[in-house]
Structure 1
Amino acid sequence: MDAFAATRLAAGTAFLVVAAASDFRTRRVRDPLWIGLGTLGLVVLASQLVVESAPWSAWSFAGSAALLFYAVFFGRPLTEEDGFHARPVRIALFLVAGVMWIAPLAVTGAVPATGSTPAMASTPVMIVVYQALYRLRVLHGGADAKGLMAITLLVPTYPNALPFPLLVADPRVDSALRIVFPFSLVVWVDAAIVSLAIPVGLFIFNALRRDFAIPQAFLGYRARLDALPTHAWLMERITPRGEHVLVLFPKRGENPADDIARLRAAGVDRAWVTPKTPFMVPLLIGFLLAFLVGNLLLAVLGLGR
């Protein structure tokens, strides 16, 4: 394992341990943690680019990713609850980031056919992808998206961590995977696979309580309305038409007070809730697995060795 890989592994683990502890206690991770991790990642990346005498295209990709990353934390977004707002400075920033990404791809020979520079092209793309996944509610928490963005800057390309990872891709697809399946995506996939233990655990918990309702037994548990858990979303509601319905995937940020009152009025004292899972814990495990074991999806698809 080279010095850059070791630094990234140590830094990522340390920051994610802090994030996991905060997420477990409060279900919140403050932005300065991700800003710090992303900034540290850029410092390590810049050092590596200097040591490797990387071409200007690698610097351009890194600069584009940095602009997009910091835009998440600073300045007001273009879209808010009341609609779209044309903010010239922010639009100009995005245009600059776009030009910095497109320019190396447009100049013949600017991106070497080998080395880490081609994989660097995916770094700005993944910042945008994680933001989009959050908007689409595929990533349920802002910390999830910001954490993956920070990891993208910390480990923009696959690290030289020999003898790790233990699971490597088939040589016939390895070079392509390094571009279309960046390291941070491996972290997310590994974390998602680890997270599959949660519904299994919930089902076992409900089975022991003889609550066999499907599918909610895989997604939550029954709780008393007069002692509703703090870190949980209500899955049952009484609609304005008086219908008692089950919401398998409640929207984040909703105030359950009115729903609780209506359920109580309907004679319900215990309702299904789904826990606000501290995803930082699986993300920490996924980060370590990505570094030391590799892409678990390769094992599932039979593309690893």
Structure 2
Amino acid sequence: MRHNGLRTAVLLGALSAVIIMVGAWLGGGVGVRIAVVIALLGNGSAYFLSDRIALSAMRARPVGEVEQPILYRIVRELSTDARRPMPRLYLSPTMQPNAFATGRNPRNAAICVTYGITRLLDERELRGVIGHELSHVYNRDILTSSVAGALATMITYLGYVGVFFGGGDDDEGPGFLGALLMMVLGPVAAGMIQMSISRSREYQADESGARLTGDPLALASALRKIEMGTRGLPLPENGRLASASHLMIANPFQGSGIGRMFSTHPPTAERVARLERMAGYRR
């Protein structure tokens, strides 16, 4: 938990430094003052609104017990077993099977599942997935992950703004500055995600979630199905979704484009093997 807090502080500090340097380069003393204000607003948004940014990227909406009784009961039971506050439950209309947790702490956490995952998994497998996502909340992974995703979204958005308002003439397109911003800021956002998010956190959440549910094989089965589902229904590789992809239980993209740049997921086969070993299986 201390490491996650330190990573978050470094991320916010790095963003402030970049914004202030750009302000000094563009506008001198006045630019620095404007950049400081922008940095403060950006850091505040990343910290307090990171969950909304991730949920918005997936077009998720809150759901309750009446609409999703099985999911709601699973989240409530596992939260009660862990003696922790129950997070908010969201549903994304996406047909791809996936799920993620977001928020800055357990009291301000949210779990989002896609419509596709509710159609693909049975109740036992859904319980395994929810246990995994709750473990991210309880391990305090979501603080660093959510803030990193929000900052990457802002950086990527600045790249898009640069493309359209990069100083070129109306007849000549965005110009050199806009193209340069897009070429530089995209990899910067991806590098921020890669440096701040350790792949070991997925293994840790798998193990903690399996202990919470007492059923490692349920999560293993769910991961196999989710892997096939994401391959069959990959999400479009745009910057907004890519900035939130590291939060998801499985990589939502295929191919070698921007989705691979932002990927922090370990191989599914290795995750399944570890869960099977927890259950006593030997290959």
TM over 0.5: no
Taking structure 2 as the reference length, what is the TM-score of the superposition?
A: 0.28
Q: TM-score, normalised by structure 1?
A: 0.26
